[in-house]
Amino acid sequence: MTGAPLAIEARPTVVVFFASWCGPCRAELANLGRLHEKHPGVRIIGLNSYEDFRDYSDTQQLRAFLDSNAPWMTEVVSADEAMLIDFGRVPRIPTLLVFDASGKISAEFRRDQRRPPSYEELESAVTNAAKAAKAL
């Protein structure tokens, strides 16, 4: 990561890149919803990316998507090109990054490199990020 486009708090943080038209994003947000229920102290930030791809979406569609798929997600940011570059050039969604309490990336699930993570993989990544925080 070349910069710090988002302020990372002193707790595990999950950053998910998604769009309302993205089918695999729905499954990933469902897993993040489960994670949020079990680990409410974990910060989850949604970076709305490529929302305007082929005019598939608009603001109302995005709001309806979030209300249906991630009503628990309170932090949603529109990711512009500079932010995507800051996060290592996110070419495909969903992409998910897990940061430990120091702001270091402790796990990456990049859609251009693999399938979206299972719930168990997400929980393990967050647990490991939390353990790293306690070791500080």
* Direct distance between the N- and C-terminal alpha carbons of the chain, in angstroms, rounded to an integer: 21
pTM score of the predicted model:
0.85
**HSE (side-chain half, CA atoms, 13 Å) at 100:** 16
Can you spell out the DSSP letters for 96-126?
EEEE-TTS-EEEEE-TTTSPPPPHHHHHHHH
In a domain, 1, yes or no: no
pLDDT tens digit string along 99-124?
998 888 999 999 888 888 999 999 99
**CATH code, domain carrying 129:** 3.40.30.10
In a domain, 131, yes or no: yes
The tokens describing 11, both together, are: 């707790």
Question: Based on the structure, what is the number of domains in the chain?
Answer: 1
In a domain, 6, yes or no: no
| Cβ atoms of residues 51 and 57 within 8 Å | yes
Residue 16 has pLDDT above 90, yes or no: yes
In a domain, 4, yes or no: no
Tell me whether strands 105-109 and 95-99 are parallel, antiparallel or unpaired. Answer: antiparallel
* Partner residues linked to 96 by β-bridges: 16, 109
